[in-house]
Structure 1
């Protein structure tokens, strides 16, 4: 791809659909076709194999690192960020449309907008470059214990709470001691799901807790 070329990197909004452009969201379309061929039966092994293959490619690595494709556990997100970091130099040569059709971003700006949640949760404090912070976050996620993940989640939850408007028991759910207690009671599978401290999975968990409080 020629240096300076523009890539549509938003996986929910296709800016200027009529305009010829490189579109990152085409990456998962192949998986949809493969899943359909299996009649959508037992697609998890296929999903994991397809992602592992894509992470070995430049655009696949970028898609899975900045997109919203589940799962978002710490181990999986570490692999995604490591793949992105591996292709950092070639990915720096182009520009990206992500949050606005008129603002073409550098790779650093794209990662800052799409992956700040991971850097804030796993590499708090800032000060280093975006690339260095992402490297640190990926390394910490790769060797995270349950306690490490719990602390990352607790750092993330205040930010996530600002994104949720309609909790019926906001004061209780926002209490750090309540959050810590509820995280401690999750079984291994449920905790693994939220272990990456991804905002989307944490929003789901907040609604679960809010609902549970309403049933007691």
Structure 2
């Protein structure tokens, strides 16, 4: 266990309460973070941390937060802190401020889990590796809670939560079925961290069937779905676009497929 880490899970007090109270508290904390970031480029620690009781429910996604008048842990509302932060800084510094906030609070259990689940872009292989490694560092305390994520009424263990949110990472980077979720995440993070461009392309091809199954209607399906076409396009992607898809996240591959289809439509109309 990392130095200073406890076996219990502690979350900032601003994440607990009714939806309205958490909304107000997180917004205030975001403004507070913005003020300090403008002054010295750092962020204040939460004023109060509260221990999550063993087995207590943490709401990890907005779509399952239907009982908003009931007090609950609302992890997903870290997004409201970030909104408050970005409103408080100069518009030219919003991305650096957001990245700095993530880097600072990946060193906490709650920040590690939030940023891993939120998958805020760019979801590059390198960035995803850092997020997964952060969750793995806090694995024991994060196991204390149960999590609501996307499916109503289904309280997940940490292992189930990571499968629900990051199965794409395990399938693309550690396509093994006979080891634990934790071991697969560890191996996936290690491979992402050291990945070459060709390693990323191999991972993208392992995840591409899932992306094709969810992409919907494409005007040039046969062209875009052709592996030779995909490899040619991947090898010629500009560095920024390739970084965006290098982790092989399904959502980013959907963006890539629709972009390729749009390009083919443009060519066809010339």
| TM value normalised by structure 1 | 0.96
Shift of residue 12, structure 1, vs aligned partner? 4.7
Name the structure 1 match of 2:60: 9
1:88-128 Cα deviation digits (max 9, x unpaired): 00010110111223111100111011100000000013211
8 Å contact from structure 1 (residues 156, 197) kept in 2: yes
Aligned with 2:132 (options 78, 81, 86):
81
CA distance in structure 2 between the aligned counterparts of 1:125 and 1:91, rounded to whole angstroms: 24
CA distance in structure 1 between the aligned counterparts of 2:206 and 2:62, rounded to whole angstroms: 26
**Number of aligned pairs?**
216
RMSD between superposed Cα atoms in Å: 1.2
Give SS of 1:43's match. Answer: helix
Aligned with 1:141 (options 165, 169, 192):
192
Q: Does residue 130 of the first structure (1) align with residue 181 of the second (2)?
A: yes
Give SS of 1:69's match. Answer: coil
The answer for unaligned runs of 5 or more in structure 2 is: 1-51
1:127-183 Cα deviation digits (max 9, x unpaired): 110000000000000000000001001111111111111211111111111111100
8 Å contact from structure 2 (residues 116, 135) kept in 1: yes
Structure 1 residue ranges, 4+ long, deviating more than 4 angstroms after superposition = none
Name the structure 2 match of 1:170: 221
CA distance in structure 2 between the aligned counterparts of 1:100 and 1:191, rounded to whole angstroms: 32
| TM value normalised by structure 2 | 0.77
Shift of residue 13, structure 1, vs aligned partner? 4.5
The answer for unaligned runs of 5 or more in structure 1 is: none
8 Å contact from structure 1 (residues 11, 67) kept in 2: no
Name the structure 2 match of 1:203: 254
8 Å contact from structure 1 (residues 82, 138) kept in 2: yes
Residues 102-111 or 28-37, more deviating: 28-37
CA distance in structure 1 between the aligned counterparts of 2:122 and 2:109, rounded to whole angstroms: 20
Name the structure 1 match of 2:151: 100
Shift of residue 26, structure 1, vs aligned partner? 1.6
CA distance in structure 1 between the aligned counterparts of 2:65 and 2:257, rounded to whole angstroms: 30
Shift of residue 29, structure 1, vs aligned partner? 1.4
CA change 1:207–1:47 in 2 (3 A) is same
8 Å contact from structure 1 (residues 96, 110) kept in 2: yes
8 Å contact from structure 2 (residues 200, 248) kept in 1: yes
> Which one scores higher on RCO, CA 8 angstroms, separation ≥ 6?
1
